[in-house]
Amino acid sequence: MKRNLIAICMIVLFILSFSTNQLNLVESNIERDYWPTDGWENSSFEEVAMNKERIVEMFKYIDKNNFAIDSVLIVKDGDLVVEEYLTISSETLHPIYSVTKSFTSTLIGIAIEEGYIESVDQKIIDFIGHVDVPNIDSKENITIAHLLTMTSGIVWNEDISYHDPENTFRQLYDSSNWVEFVLNQAMEDEPGNTWKYNSGGSHLLSAIIENATGISTLGYADSHIFSTLGFSNYYWEEDPQNICFGGSGLQLLPRDMAKLGYLFLNNGTWDETQIVPEEWVSQASEGKIYLSERTDYGYQWWIFPLLDAYLALGWAGQIICVIPQHDIVAVFTSSLDESEFPFRELLADYIIKASEEGYIEPIPITMSSIILSLSISTAVIMFKKKQARLK
């Protein structure tokens, strides 16, 4: 009896072990046979090899901590796998705040490719030197690259609350001429020496786009990105001189936010057309400025080397995250206060982990499995009783 029981247990364990290994080997070989210009196609977690339960846990984590997240979208292998609208509808335009910077940067890359701008090393004075402010001469060594990497050396304080009147962003917003306001700020360091977050510098990039191309930043974006990628609805705030706010101000649908990430995921290509130069995608998403072990800064993109990801980040929890290794684009829109948003945890502990774990198929509970389980349990009980009698 003892030998039979051991044999049965070993067979059951072998079967379960073999089944588990097979589940872990589930792979997805989806080929991209469409582009989401007219809309995203949907796939299941099984089709893209993601652990659904890990994503379910993510939403429980969001709910438990009362994070004011409005929408979550996850695109994997070119298909929309997660699309949840927690407080808004799919047709709600959402302010994306500083995610706008990554769009502005992309337009700079396109303008360079088209010859409107020589290179990132061209001095900004070539485009906005006509602005009549007392401190314009002190900006003569600032290049477009300095604005892209936020190393212009201009005095700026955007590290305090945006509701604080001492915040330079707030002062910019309240001024009558935003370009003049930025250029009239003093210099605190030579260009290229110091990194300082500066939405004003991003706005200068928008002014440069308009001056270089001869059309509005919105018009340039519409003809080169929005229309091509199929953006259905959008709004871009302008300054008092009708220059699109390069550092913020865009409002988009979450589905369209994902399209910019997907454009970059595909090295600037869309439907077999090179929209953004591949070299620009590489340069923009590469760490130019070391900020910490976990964070670098590129051309208006944040780089997270430990996650092998790069992000467009906006105030209050707006995110476009590109994770090339996992063929993923993740989008969050939120209405958070100024507290810390745990986007690293959401990405590392849930989204990336769900991709690493792959699809795990629930083991079906059948009558035969129940009978087998009961038989094993009965055999174990009988064996223990027999052993007790022998003692």
Domains of the chain by start residue, with CATH = 2-26+361-390 (no CATH), 45-357 (3.40.710.10)
Query: Which pLDDT belongs to residue 89?
Result: 98
Q: What is the mean pLDDT of each run of 10 residues along the chain (391 residues)?
A: 41 34 31 89 97 98 95 98 98 98 99 99 96 91 99 97 95 98 97 98 99 98 98 97 98 99 97 96 98 98 98 97 98 87 94 95 58 58 60 54
Query: Which pLDDT belongs to residue 129?
Result: 87
The DSSP letter of residue 73 is E
What is residue 76's three-state secondary structure? strand
Q: Which among 65, 70, 68 has a CA at the least distance from the CA of 336?
A: 68
Query: Which pLDDT belongs to residue 363?
Result: 61
- pTM value is 0.85
Query: Which pLDDT belongs to residue 339?
Result: 66
Six token digits for residue 170: 């707030």
Give me the phi and psi of 322, to 5 degrees please.
-110, 125
- Is residue 332 within 8 Å of residue 88, measured between CB atoms? no
